[in-house]
Amino acid sequence: MPGVKISIIGAGSASFSLRLVGDLCKTKGLSGSLVSLMDIDKNRLNAVHTLAKKYAEELGSDLRFETTMNLEDSIKDASFVVNTALVGGHSYFEKVRQISEKYGYYRGIDAQEFNMVSDYYTISNFNQIKFMFDVAKLIEKLSPKAWLLQAANPVFELTTLISRVVPINMVGICHGHHGVDYIIEKMGLEKQKVDWQVAGVNHGIWLTRFKYEGKDAHHLIDELLEKELKNFKPTNPFDDQISLVAKDMYEFYGRMPIGDTVRNGSWKYHYNLETKKKWFGEPWGGVDSELGWKWYQERQAERAIITQQVAKYFKEKPKAKLLSKETQQAIISTAKDDLKKEYTKEVYELLDPEKKSGEQHILLANALLNDEKVDLVLNILNKGTIPGIADDVAVEIPVYADKNGIHPYKIDPDIPERIKKMYLMPRILRMEWALEAFLTGDRRVLEEFLIRDPRTRSYEQVVKVIDEILALPENEEMRKHYSKK
């Protein structure tokens, strides 16, 4: 096999990049490929490179790697470009969050604009959207036949924007639908006997079909919720697939919200920390709270340290084995117990030749390249798949992929009208407003966006928060962009 070139933009994100590398190592059809690791953070890039080579070696796979800090070099000749970059990193979002909360925009994922938690800022992350847009246009110029696999957020906005405007092959990829696997495991069902579908938009997908042995099995969801929520106590801030929020949304909308959809309910669940705790459970009140996000940030920082330690270790001892006792002792001696466990588990899974990561990128690449048909859940333009949603809006839907491309399955049964009109459409409108702002550079659109935000009390509040965000030194380009009108 000659292999192809696969570019990972933002490859410094170790756990994500290594999951892709692991999948690649275990995919015969992509043997011989060149993985181009691109990042602007040299340290992180080198660490990932060292580890990627190590995994490839221990898995005995025929992969080549290159590292580059130059975007064009990485994209040139690529057949697949996985874009997972986070421009400005989490520290930028933290700055925006602080400014926003100062002006009364308390964190809550429903808003998905100024001051949202996580990395899903739709109107204040101009630099992120601009970068993703530029990458897409660069692909059009340098590798017009390549596929762009958009992994970085905001997936919904970016998939819609790029698919509408840039004539390349592209798809948005998220793993939120694995919430269904979690539910099935909790029920103790045989996976093969469950027939399910999810549909919606990114971070807003719903379990539209749930059958066991050919029969509707929603009663099993009722039972599961009943059982699990008697003494609900999340194990971590992300543990919300079976939660009081999920149950409340399930009861109101008639279908189970899957993955980040649960975080993305209305302000009913987010007004303040007390409300969040009530709905998402103690002690954190979910990940989209002061406490939950702190937990996540600290954990991320610790994991970054482990990554650097591990990379340094293998740089010095290239012949050491990933799972040897010595290695384990040497590299994670300082980490907390649960992080040690998590890390070791990940290494085991990465080295297990039978186990793939659950990320869809490599499965998709293999299907497109080698015609190995595979079922996935991807973000592509609707084009009639979900009735009542415009053709040119990116939806997250079940599809199969093969050498002829990506083919949506019929959504059967359809998404209930209440979900479309009360959950999906409001979210779709906010996406449209974000793109309207981005494409026109009209500051008034940002203003109107916030005027419709339930956290806004006055026009002055809107003006002030936008002014202060635009005044951040890293937002010089954004400032210019929004001075056009």
Distance, in Å, from the CA atom of 120 to the CA atom of 380, rounded to the nearest integer, reads 19
For the question of residue 260 being annotated catalytic, the response is yes
Residue nearer to a second copy on the CB measure, 38 or 424: 424
Q: Is residue 23 within the footprint of a second copy (CB under 8 A)?
A: no
Q: Please pick, from the candidates 41, 73, 436, 468, the single residue that binds a second copy as defined by CB under 8 A.
A: 436
Residues with Cβ within 8 Å of 406's Cβ and at least 6 positions away in sequence, in order, are: 171, 364, 376, 378, 380, 399, 400
CB of 286 to a second copy, least distance (A): 16
Among positions 395-434, residues that touch a second copy (CB under 8 A) are 417-418, 421-422, 425-426, 429, 432-433
Residue nearer to a second copy on the CB measure, 236 or 483: 483
CB of 201 to a second copy, least distance (A): 15
Residue with tokens 């110029």: 141
Q: Is residue 191 within the footprint of a second copy (CB under 8 A)?
A: no
Pairing of strands 215-216, 204-212: antiparallel
> Does residue 22 contact residue 64 with C-beta atoms inside 8 Å?
no
Q: List the catalytic residue out of 90, 175, 178, 218.
A: 175
CB of 131 to a second copy, least distance (A): 25
CB of 250 to a second copy, least distance (A): 12
Residue nearer to a second copy on the CB measure, 159 or 360: 159
Q: Please pick, from the candidates 15, 448, 464, 479, the single residue that binds a second copy as defined by CB under 8 A.
A: 448
Residue nearer to a second copy on the CB measure, 265 or 408: 265
CB of 420 to a second copy, least distance (A): 9
Q: Please pick, from the candidates 403, 444, 477, 483, the single residue that binds a second copy as defined by CB under 8 A.
A: 444
Distance, in Å, from the CA atom of 60 to the CA atom of 83, rounded to the nearest integer, reads 26
CB of 459 to a second copy, least distance (A): 5
For the question of residue 177 being annotated catalytic, the response is no
Q: Please pick, from the candidates 42, 64, 102, 268, the single residue that binds a second copy as defined by CB under 8 A.
A: 268
Per-residue contact flags (x/-) with a second copy for residues 234 to 253, judged by CB under 8 A: ------------------x-
Pairing of strands 64-68, 34-38: parallel
Span of 18-26, 53-61, 201-209, 452-460 interacting with a second copy by CB under 8 A: 452-460
> Does residue 393 contact residue 428 with C-beta atoms inside 8 Å?
yes
| Cα three-residue angle 46-47-50, rounded to 5 degrees | 85
Angle between helix axes 459-470 and 443-451 (nearest 10 degrees) is 130
Per-residue contact flags (x/-) with a second copy for residues 355 to 394, judged by CB under 8 A: ---------------------------------x-x----
Residue nearer to a second copy on the CB measure, 353 or 454: 454
Residue 245 Cα to chain centre, angstroms: 21
CB of 462 to a second copy, least distance (A): 8
Span of 25-33, 175-183, 236-244, 268-276 interacting with a second copy by CB under 8 A: 268-276
Q: Please pick, from the candidates 98, 451, 467, 483, the single residue that binds a second copy as defined by CB under 8 A.
A: 451
Give the binding-site size for a second copy (rule: CB under 8 A): 30
CB of 257 to a second copy, least distance (A): 14
Q: Is residue 271 within the footprint of a second copy (CB under 8 A)?
A: yes
**Tokens describing residue 407:** 């083919």
Residue with tokens 């040139």: 76
Q: Please pick, from the candidates 457, 471, 476, 480, the single residue that binds a second copy as defined by CB under 8 A.
A: 457
Q: Is residue 445 within the footprint of a second copy (CB under 8 A)?
A: yes
Q: List the catalytic residue out of 39, 110, 240, 260.
A: 260
Residues that bind a second copy (CB under 8 A): 252, 266-268, 271, 275, 388, 390, 417-418, 421-422, 425-426, 429, 432-433, 436, 444-445, 447-448, 451-454, 456-459
Residues belonging to the active site: 175, 260
